[in-house]
Chains A and B, each alone.
Chain A
Amino acid sequence: MRDCVIRSVGWTVPEASISNEELVEVFNAYADRFNADNADAIAAGAAAEIPHSSEKFIEQASGILNRHVVDKDGLMDIDRMRPRIPHRDKEAMAFQAEFGVSAAKKALEKAGRTADDVDGVIVASSAQQRNFPGVSIEIQNGLGMTRGWAFDMTMACASAIFAMQQARELIRTGQADAILIVCPEIMSAINHYRRREVHFIFGDAAAAILLEAGDREAGGWELQGVRLETKWSNALRSDFGFMNHTEFEDDEPFEAFVDQDGHRVFRDVIPMASSVSSKLISDLGYQPHDIRRAWLHQANIRIVQAVAKKALDREPTADVAPIILNEYGNTSSSSVLMTFDKNSSDMAVGERGLLCAFGAGYGCGAAIIQKR
């Protein structure tokens, strides 16, 4: 069966960014107002006081210093604290499709390919902007593809690796020669900016990766193997969905957004991600030291370092396990692709790396690639 190769990665982030200092300022102002408005109930024990957030808490908990967002004003508005995105007519390209197209175009340009070279588009992200038509099909159209297929899939933060497995199978079985995986993540619209435990976590980014049959051209990275595992957990949840409005206690939809038990996630995900990575490394007949670098999902600096240390059996220096979450926050499925793209140009032919993404589900996907 023929090889599947990573040809290029393209990505983009919105221009606007929010520092921890700015985020804490609006959160604390909201907390103060809530606590004052509910002073009697809090005193009577009927409502819980909202504690302040702080830059130190955020940095210690996550390593995040900054995040890029599609709408800073809406998030910094104490009366709103969610993005404000102009409603678009159906004839205009959807916001998420547009975001994805800009990343996909960069990937194509870097590879010297045009839309005509692509057989299929997979949108793999935490959530799609609408039920149908598929955002992937709109991206296929937006790129100017006149043939082929597209579909949407979701596997939270691990979506990119799960899609790479599907794309690899389609290429290896000869059903496609080139597939674009697009991860347009508008996490600021899913995050809950009034929950202290999560308000700092996410950032917005779109990334795209072009996979091709290896015989088309030299270069790129051989995708040598992928391993996927999932294991049910309620510790990371977002209940927003098409049935909310049918439920008895019809919440404000905003309340259905991200909620997590961070300590539990930390405890469960590190062994899972390192074990999936280790199994893949040994399945392919390698030792940890055969793998030069680990590009890991950027959820949390301590998780990244712990997984890299276990899977690659050495100190997780910046060379072994590069970090980008300080600047971008957790950008969900796009983060592993961005980390790879920003930290791979120094690698020599024959060197290998591990891509590993993990998150809600729990879902974990790992891939071993080798520079050609």
Chain B
Amino acid sequence: MINAVIRSTGLWTPPDSVSNDELVVCYNAWVEKWNGENADAIAAGQLDAKSPSSSGFIEKASGIKSRYSIDKAGVLDVDRMRPEVRRRNDGEISIMAEAGLAAAREALQRAGRDPADVDGVICSATTMQRTYPCIAIEIQHALGIDGFGYDMSVACSSGTFGLINAVNSIKTGQAKSILLVTPEITTPQLNFRDRDSHFIFGDVAVALLIERDDMADDGWSILDTRMKTSYSNNIRSNLGFLNACENPEPAFEDRYFTQEGRRVFKEVCPMVAELILDQLTANDLSSADMKRLWLHQANINMNMMIARKVFDREFTVEEAPVILDEFANTAGAGSLVAFHRHADGFAPGEKGLLCSFGAGYSIGSVIVEKRTA
């Protein structure tokens, strides 16, 4: 059977980064304002005073030090605390497509490929900017690709599930070359007035060029793929097209991201480690054969726990690289961004594993092997 290879990767980041300190200054200013406006109700015991956040708390809880945002000014405006973007007309490229396009162009350029070499575009991300037309088709159009595109979503596993779909299309001969694009514009989905989650997400776009193995000698062979989902309400975002029809219509705070962090940690870590170990065994491999794990970048403590279970020993940061300190959680892009940033130092034949996990719950896991340098 034809196999599929990851030929190249590309990345786009917004120009602006927001540090924990900057985020906390804004959040705490809002807390002070809110507590002042509600002082009587708080004194009367009708409302609880809001607690300030701190950079120390954020870093300890998550490992995150900064995040990129499409609009820093809007996020740090105490009277707004959400990104502000100019509405674009139908003739202009959408923000998501523009972000994805930049990452896709870098992936093509790094592989020395022309858009004419590509048959299809999969846009796989937590959510799409509009119902239709598909964002994938807009990216396809901007690149000038004659072929097909579609959008798919599996929250934080969007990148790996999209990669798996691309691999299948190549293995069955449906396509020779596919661009997987994961533009994650996550800061509009955050409630920046929620102390538990205001620091979690960052914006990014990543792209992978997946090709038939006989098109070049380099890149990464796909040895095995796995998908698993198991329903949970512990990470949830209710925003959707039915909101406007719902009675009563949900408030802003009830549409966007919420999570039960501790339960997620407790339930997801063992599920992920078990799936990886099971997958390795099924492929006559063990963790000793894995030079590196590119894990989903949600939380440093989760990654430490999962990597320790998989390796069953102490491990170095080179073996489980971290990008969430700089990027925060970039949803479906996380494990792909970690791969993009930390794919160096592999000799031909050396292997690694990309694994995403998150809302759903969902887990996507892909074993790769380095081809010629």
* A interface residues with partner B (beta carbon < 8 Å): 1, 71, 74, 82-87, 90-91, 95-96, 120, 126-134, 136-138, 140-141, 147-156, 162, 165-166, 168-170, 172-173, 175, 186, 189-190, 226, 228-234, 236-243, 245-249, 253-254, 256-257, 359-363
Q: Smallest CB–CB gap between A229 and chain B, Å?
A: 6
A230 touches B136 (CB 8 A): yes
Cα separation A249 to B86 with both chains bound (whole Å): 8
Contact in complex: B134, A141 (CB < 8 Å): no
A359 partner residues in chain B, CB cutoff 8 A: 132
B224 — nearest CB in chain A belongs to which residue? A175
Q: Which residue of A lies closest to B363 (CB)?
A: A149
Compute how far the CA of A132 lies from the CA of B71 in the bound complex, rounded to whole angstroms: 24
Q: Which of A96, A131, A363 has the most CB of B within 10 A?
A: A131
Q: Are A230 and B91 neighbours in the complex by a CB distance under 8 Å?
A: no
A-B contacts, 10 listed (Cβ < 8 Å) = A74-B245, A85-B245, A86-B247, A90-B236, A154-B132, A156-B133, A236-B133, A237-B133, A239-B130, A361-B133
Across-interface contacts of A71 in B (CB, < 8 A): 245
State in angstroms the CA–CA spacing of A128 and B153 once bound together: 9
Inter-subunit contact A363/B134 (CB<8 Å): yes
Does B109 belong to the interface (CB within 8 Å)?
A: no
Contact at B155–A133, with CB atoms within 8 Å? Answer: yes
Cβ of B318 under 8 Å from chain A: no
Give the complex CA separation of A256 and B244 in angstroms. 11
Q: How far is the CA of A86 from the CA of B248 in the complex (A)?
A: 7
Chain B interfacial positions (CB closer than 8 Å to A): 1, 71, 74, 82-87, 90-91, 95-96, 120, 126-134, 136-138, 140-141, 147-155, 161, 165, 168-169, 171-172, 174, 185, 188-189, 225, 227-233, 235-250, 252, 358-362
Bound Cα distance from A237 to B88, whole angstroms:
14
A91, B362: Cα distance in complex, Å: 19
Is B247's CB under 8 angstroms from A134's CB? no
Report the separation of the CA atoms of residues A179 and B142 in the bound assembly, to the nearest whole angstrom. Answer: 33
A90–B246 Cα gap in the complex (Å)?
13
> Does the CB pair B130–A134 fall under 8 Å?
no
Distance of B117 from chain A, by nearest CB (Å): 17
CB distance from B69 to the nearest CB of A (A): 11
Say whether A230 contacts B131, CB under 8 Å.
no
Measured between beta carbons, the chain A residues less than 8 angstroms from B245 are: 71, 74, 82-85, 189
CB neighbours of A91 from chain B (8 A): 233
A260 shortest CB reach to chain B, Å = 10
Q: Are B86 and A247 in contact (CB under 8 A)?
A: yes
In the bound assembly, the distance between CA atoms of A149 and B226 in angstroms comes to 9
Q: Beyond A131-B239, A189-B244, A230-B148, is A166–B165 a contact (Cβ under 8 Å)?
A: yes
Q: Of residues A165, A232, A257, which shows the largest number of chain B Cβ atoms within 10 Å of its Cβ?
A: A232
CB of B83 within 8 A of CB of A87, answer no
- Known contacts A126-B132, A132-B360, A168-B172; decide if A246 and B71 are in contact (CB<8 Å): yes
Instruction: Tell whether, in the assembled complex, residue A126 and residue B131 are in contact, meaning their CB atoms are under 8 Å apart.
Output: yes
Are B240 and A148 in touch, CB under 8 angstroms? no
Are A360 and B133 in contact (CB-based, < 8 A)?
Answer: yes
Report chain A residues within 8 Å CB of B230. Answer: 137, 141
B254: nearest residue on chain A (CB-CB)? A87
- A96 cross-chain contacts in B, Cβ below 8 A: 242
Contact A138 B231 (CB under 8 A): yes
Contact B229 A149 (CB under 8 A): yes
Known interface pairs A232-B141, A249-B87, A360-B133; 20 further A-B residue pairs with C-beta atoms within 8 A, sorted by A's residue number: A85-B246, A127-B240, A131-B237, A132-B360, A133-B236, A134-B360, A140-B231, A153-B151, A154-B132, A162-B148, A166-B165, A166-B169, A169-B174, A172-B172, A175-B168, A189-B241, A232-B140, A238-B131, A240-B130, A248-B85
- CA separation between A140 and B149, bound complex, in Å? 25
- Please state if A85 and B247 are interface contacts (CB–CB under 8 Å): yes
Contact between A134 and B242, CB atoms less than 8 A apart: no
Q: Which of B82, B131, B148, B361 contacts A228 (CB 8 A)?
A: B148
A132 vs B256: C-alpha distance when bound (angstroms): 10
Bound-state Cα–Cα, A14 to B40, Å: 50
